Amino acid sequence: MSLDGWNRVLVLGGIRSGKSQYAESLVADAATVRYVATAAGDDGAEWAARLAAHRDRRPASWSTEETASDPRRLADVIATARADETLLVDDLGGWVTVLLDPAHQPADDTTTIEELVAAIRECAARLVLVSPEVGLSLVPTTPLGRAFTDALGLVNRAVAEVCDTVLLVVAGQPCQLKPPATVPAADPAGAGVPAQTGPVGDVSVPASPAVTTPQARPAAPAVAIIPGGSLPVAADGPEIGPGMELPMPDLDAGPQALERLAGLDLPGRGFGVLEQVVAFAATTQGTSTPQPWESVRVLLVHGDHEGGSAAGTRSGDSARRAEQARSGQGVLARLAAESGAALQVIEAPTAAPIEDGPALTAEQVESALRYGWRLAEEAVDAGVQLLVLAACGAGTEAAAAAVLAATAGAEPSAVLARVINRGEYDDAAWMARCAAIRDAIQRCRGMAREAKDVLAQVGGGDIAVATGILLGATARRTPVLLDGPVGMAAGLVSRDLAGQARHWCLLADHGGQPGIRLAADVLGLTPLAELKLDLGEGANALTVLPMLRSALTLAAALPARPDPAAEVPTESVEPDSPEPDSQELDFPEPDSQEPDFREPEPEGPGPTSTSAASADHSGSRAG
């Protein structure tokens, strides 16, 4: 689709505004499209001519389904669509007309509309809906006309609420209504949004932290955040549990993009390992010509782990780095500024010592998962096209290693990186961390190993929030860039909740950490680079981000390689010039005096041939 990163699009417009043609252009790059026609076709010759014009515009590869016989069938078609399909529904005005038809009465129209909205909300396929916007006209003078406009207005509002993007086409020109074109600036005082409260266990409910875009060279702190580190609860949020059915990316678009790359007019051998980036962007955007990510948000999750997991760390160090990021300072904020990415600092609850008992309560796990899901949804609603998952916290490496040991059976000492303290290896701290992980795994023997249980027993708040972010991003068809232990641990947990989540993740770098390498193997992720940076989780991803954007820009903009068969050589000999003869060609005769090209033997690699050289000279003379 041309609107990259969106799953559900509503296109509104007046009569003859061009809304249908614009909607068709959004799905023009799809291999196949299921065109869902909602209007009845028995309203005379003029109406039949309109329908025929619509049919003539559709490519032969599109299939057509009609739902005019039963208003409820539209919801069934949308609900049963597969993740690899593209649906175009044209239009909801025709559907409302059929819904109000006396032939389908008496019926519960409200329930039918609710069923349609629910089907759109849960639709796994890429979905574009067309609907007439009648709210700008006069109130109809007839009861039937008023009933139609009232019903259609209700449908448009309900459908727009669950769609990712809403556009209004006026005189053929699309105007984006949702999400808004710009993100409201953060309140400099840090108090722009009031906190929401609502107890769940001992967890209070603040609003989401503020999002800021750091300046490349800020003169003063530019990032504000609502204080507080507890997690919110979305009472009406999704039910997160094993076996979730979330959308898959378009797996056909990746090979199509690589095939297109092979035909570009490149001076060298191609994109190398960056072909992986182009293929990933193609699958997640659903097009063989993916565009660079323009809107990027860094989600920095700050959460500490107590006990042996944090051995060797200095008290308050992670909180200081989180505060740096909030004020637009520090490594992540600087890299985000250089990349033009927004930065959001997220507070997760501190995890209890895993060697003594669970890291979190079951209520805290549920709250953290929903909080992460909501953060991803808010980012997508704000127009974000790529999320970068970052983390800072004491003991995060040990917690990630514990998750890896619990989910993949890894030996803690084999996946836990050595501890560096003040520039030197701290083997005593490393052994304390290993002991804490082994004690926790021993304590959990015989317990359930479901995803939520792993988060509660050994994971912690930061990994739980990160897991929710991955699941929420997957649900909204938004890719996530990973590069550290918290993100990879979240990937392992999310795999057990929804196997589709890993297909929306891209690993920037393993950072030389054995745990990340093993987790990447388990998830089937290949790191893009090996920079050997150790600047904190998220830094590697932001470092390679400009390179990824450059690769996508080139892949989208470069022309195809010219066809050699289409190039016809032309001679530049003037008409009155004499024909060149053999005396004008300064080549020796191929006789016995021909030099022996085999002597001396060449010093470098590569074969040489006397006969080949003679053939070249003879061919030049004959030409």
E strand spans, 365-477: 386-392, 420-421, 424-425
Q: In the β-sheet with 480-482, what is the strand arrangement from edge to edge?
A: 342-347, 296-302, 386-392, 480-482, 505-507
Please count the CA atoms within 13 angstroms of the CA of 132 that sit on its side-chain side: 18
Q: Strand pairing of 173-178 and 165-170? A: antiparallel
Residue 575: asked if its preceding bond is cis (omega within 30°), the reply is no
The whole-angstrom separation of Cα 182 and Cα 162 is 20
Task: Identify the helix (H) or strand (E) that includes residue 441.
Answer: helix 427-443
The whole-angstrom separation of Cα 515 and Cα 437 is 13
Q: What is the DSSP code (8-state) at residue 603?
A: S
The whole-angstrom separation of Cα 608 and Cα 611 is 9
Which of the following is catalytic: 115, 355, 377, 537? 537
259 part of the active site? no
User: Is residue 370 classed as helix, strand or coil in its secondary structure?
Assistant: helix
Q: Per DSSP, what are the bridge partners of residue 173?
A: 170
Which residue in this structure is represented by tokens 């938004």? Answer: 478
Single-letter residue type at 396: T
Please count the CA atoms within 13 angstroms of the CA of 375 that sit on its side-chain side: 37
Give yes or no for a contact between 519 and 242, defined as CB atoms under 8 angstroms apart: no
Give yes or no for a contact between 334 and 340, defined as CB atoms under 8 angstroms apart: no
Which residue in this structure is represented by tokens 């929420």? Answer: 472
Name 415's Cβ contacts closer than 8 Å, sequence gap at least 6: 401, 404, 405, 514, 515, 518
The whole-angstrom separation of Cα 340 and Cα 310 is 33
The whole-angstrom separation of Cα 253 and Cα 464 is 31
Phi-psi region of 541 (alpha: psi -120 to 50; beta: other; left: phi over 0): alpha
Q: Measured in whole angstroms, how far is the alpha carbon of residue 27 from the centre of its chain? A: 19
Phi-psi region of 524 (alpha: psi -120 to 50; beta: other; left: phi over 0): left
Alpha-carbon torsion (284, 289, 295, 299), positive or negative: positive
User: What φ, ψ does residue 453 adopt, rounded to 5°?
Assistant: -65, -40
Active site residues: 537
